[in-house]
Structure 1
Amino acid sequence: MSDHILVERRDAIQIIRLNRPEKKNAITRAMYAAMAKALRKGDADDAIRVHVFLGVPGAFSAGNDLQDFMTAATSNDMGKEILEFLTALSSARKPIVSGVNGLAIGVGTTIHLHCDLTFATPESLFRTPFVDLGLVPEAASSLLAPNLMGHQKAFALLALGHGFTADAAHEAGIVYRIVSADRLEDDVMQAAAEIAAKPPEAMQIARALMRMPAEPLSDRIVREARHFAERLTSEETRAALLAFFTRKK
């Protein structure tokens, strides 16, 4: 595990913290590998119900460590760790909550497109200068961002590289809630705890349904109905209904 990625478990919550403040959390290949490992391990652990991503004050991440990546490019070993992380991130079964306090540049922005709830401080800045560097959008952001915020805002973010303030990111749907810096981690953890307290199988199915590709409404109704019928006979639902009716008495 990279020293620049700290992994902590609090009850049913796994916290993955980027911790390279001297480089504003610029991400190296070793950091990608460590985050991928943590996501896979947490997803495989039934005791973990939610993942949390955090950075340090002033920076969630300044993006990729370009020096590290230029070294990788010259050795024909470009992208393996990145793809492993992005695959683990995009295929994670369990909900993901993130908190941003400061810079969220490049992949420091696109990570949050895969999160279910993102909190940010008013000082946060989301920016993806891919084209400015002669590069292109990554992490499926060219698909996720237009679906989330529409073509024009996505173009401003991903192609023009315009910075989005916390307010703009909130309006675009990247951010769920803007909170003060002194409240950020408490509010992130409170949201994660609320998720963790829900029936885990039902939560994972509900999340997976919302993240599926577009399909005809009639197909989605049938798919939801099948899951709904299966859930009615599950132990989770029996326990939840019993608790509900007990409270009603």
Structure 2
Amino acid sequence: MSFIKSEQIGAVLRLTLDRPEKKNAITQEMYQSLANKINEAASDFGIRAVVICSNGDSFTAGNDINDFANDPQMDEGSPVFSFLFAIHNFPKPLIAAVKGRAVGIGTTMLMHCDLVTANPDTKFSMPFVSLGLVAEGGSSYLFPRLVGHAKAAEIFFTGRTFSADEALSMGLINQISEDELSAAMAFAQEIAEQPPTAVINTKALLKSGSHEALNQVIRAEGELFKMATQSDEAQIAFMNFLAKKSKVK
């Protein structure tokens, strides 16, 4: 069963995280499916923009902890890396519609998006340090450039949750809307009507100053992340996390 739903609406490809019973926690199979669909869209002239959204009450709870604890693949060519490089290198506009919880990769992937809409109730978090891990997805480079070192350090070191209003003030998202998906689709359709080569070239120029540097950061983060997952510190944090989840149930 695929947990990624793909639908083309005019010139817009909509990719939906469709595992609501698990809060859209992302498995390695889901990462690879997303990467494949995004890479295919890059070379499809009929697709002018991609929107990533979700079913259920959460955008994503982040990585599926059980999936990654059993087989943490963080090498180049792994599903996670395939997804990260797909969104980093995607030449066309990438838009996200976010609601509920956006944990870990659910927040870091937004830094690779060109536009993001969010429901007023969205809660963002990057609890990597709290799990004995390090920042991933290029976020150690992109986030401080966006919000400054002090704010980035506060959020990374504490792992605290922040609101849609705070995300808007940071510049992480473009718009807060009660219907975040409709708002994202409106952005996508407006962009899809623009001259496509001009859009692609403008995005390339916007990213030109940091594109290769970010490639190196993503690789370095991946190495440290993989080492961290194998540490006693992370294993204890994982067990504590899973124990808390079981008590909640």
Q: Report the TM-score, using the length of structure 1 for normalisation.
A: 0.81
1:188-227 alignment, distance < 5 Å: 188-213=184-209
**Does residue 131 of structure 2 align to residue 133 of structure 1?**
yes
Residues 96 and 77 from structure 1, CA distance in 2 versus in 1: closer, same or farther, beyond 3 angstroms?
A: closer
C-alpha change, 1:114 and 1:59, in structure 2 (3 Å) is same
Matches within 5 A, 1:73-88: 73=72, 80-88=78-86
3-state DSSP class of the match of 2:146? helix
The DSSP-based 3-state class of the residue aligned with 1:59 is coil
Which amino acid letter does the alignment assign opposite residue 174 of structure 1?
L
> What secondary structure does 2:200 align onto?
helix
State the Cα deviation string for residues 47-94 of structure 1 (Å, max 9, x = none). Answer: 101010001242110000010011113x89798100011011100001
Corresponding position of 1:38: 37
Residue equivalent to 2:118: 120
1:91 corresponds, among 89, 92, 106, to: 89
Runs of 5+ consecutive residues of structure 2 not aligned to the other structure: 211-249
Match of 2:244 in 1: none
Q: Which residue of 1 aligns with 2:102?
A: 104
| Residues 147-199 of structure 1 deviation map (CA, whole Å, 9 limit, x = unaligned) | 1111111112222212110000111111100011xx22211111100010000
Residue pair 1:53, 1:99 contacting (<8 A) in 2 also: yes
Q: Which runs of 5+ in 1 are unaligned?
A: 215-249
1:63 match: secondary structure: coil
Structure with greater contact order relative to length (CA < 8 Å, sep ≥ 6): 2
How many Å separate the matches in 2 of 1:76 and 1:137?
A: 13
The whole-number CA distance in structure 1 between the counterparts of 2:155 and 2:50 is: 26
Tell me what 1:4 maps to: 3
Q: CA deviation at 1:34?
A: 0.3
**Which residue is 2:181 aligned to?**
185
Distance 1:131 1:196 in 2: 39
Amino acid in the other structure paired with 2:187:
A
Aligned residue number for residue 60 of structure 2 = 61
Percent identity of the aligned residues? 39
* Matching residue's letter, 2:195: P
Tell me how far apart the structure 1 counterparts of residues 75 and 164 of structure 2 sit (CA, whole Å). Answer: 35
Secondary structure of the structure 2 residue equivalent to 1:159: helix
TM-score (norm. length: structure 2): 0.81
- Please give the alpha-carbon distance, in whole angstroms, between the structure 2 residues aligned to 1:77 and 1:191: 35
Q: Do structure 1's residue 155 and structure 2's residue 149 form an aligned pair?
A: no
Which structure has the bigger radius of gyration?
1
Match of 1:244 in 2: none
Specify the SS of the correspondent of 2:81: helix
SS of match in other structure, 2:71: helix
Change (3 A) 1:100 1:76: closer
Amino acid at match of 1:197: E
In terms of mean alpha carbon deviation, does 154-163 or 11-20 score higher?
154-163
Residue in 2 aligned with 1:220? Answer: none
